[in-house]
Amino acid sequence: MLKKRNKIAIWGLSGVMMTQLLGCGQTASRPAATTRPIRAKITQPVTTNDSIADRSRRQVLKRKGSWGLSSQQVEEVAPLVASAAAANQLPQDLIFGIIWVESRFDPRAVSPVGARGLMQLMPKTADYLAECIKWSDRVDSFDPRFNVTAGSYYIARLIRSFDGDEDLALAAYNAGPTRVRRWLKNDGTLPPVSVEYASMVQTARSFFNGNRSTFDETPVVTDAELDRLGLTILIAGLSNRFAEQRQDDANPFE
């Protein structure tokens, strides 16, 4: 079992408030004498109908950059997620969480090491997974249907391989099961980057409706919830440095 210090999944951070300190500790100095009188520059107050929340959101987006994701993009993928979850006996919110962390629901996403698509499959691993699921069409990781089907099969198999431990399975999805087993054999712990990855997925999944039935019209997630998710990850200080751990294994289970 994963040691307790590795179990740091982040919950309840969406209520944390972030403050920004400007000009802290600076002292004012008296201007030097001049032959011209110094006239104070008078500025007119800016009138705006923006709320404090709107202004705060703009400041954060300016610092971080837009999340670039809408609830409509999530809804477009939802039927594929529902199908893959049912086929692999997975909770839908787990798949949504992985997709959010891996690609922010961009089917054309490519990582620095060459992982592709919604669930960021490496080329050789994608070919291996295609054989496992008996995929009859062309193997194309940019095809959302293949990517979600293969990626969901992969995480489900990893969960079984690690005796139902989702955090270990998520670490293996990111870094490969062989490396995770080697880390556990050496000192029983995972490196911080793997713990961060599992934490990000577990946090992200909590923002998605993972129990929606076929005829349920409840949205998987709202735009406001996606904004809160982005802010939660930002405030927690988690990053995407895990992307460089991905390896391209012809058979990740060997």
User: How confident is the model at residue 58, as a pLDDT?
Assistant: 62
The per-residue pLDDT string of the chain (254 residues; one tens digit each, 9 = 90 and over) reads 554 445 444 333 333 333 332 333 333 333 344 344 333 443 444 445 667 666 665 665 554 444 568 999 999 999 999 999 999 999 999 999 999 999 999 999 999 999 999 999 999 999 999 999 999 999 999 999 999 999 999 999 999 999 999 999 999 999 999 999 999 999 999 999 999 999 999 999 999 976 666 566 788 999 999 988 988 888 887 777 777 778 888 888 87
pTM of the model: 0.74
User: How confident is the model at residue 197, as a pLDDT?
Assistant: 95
Residue type, 235: I
> Domains of the chain (ranges plus CATH)?
61-245 (1.10.530.10)
Q: What residues are paired with 121 via a beta bridge?
A: 116
User: How confident is the model at residue 129, as a pLDDT?
Assistant: 97
User: Which two structure tokens, joined as six digits, stand for 128?
Assistant: 């291996």
CA–CA dist 17, 123 (Å, integer): 41
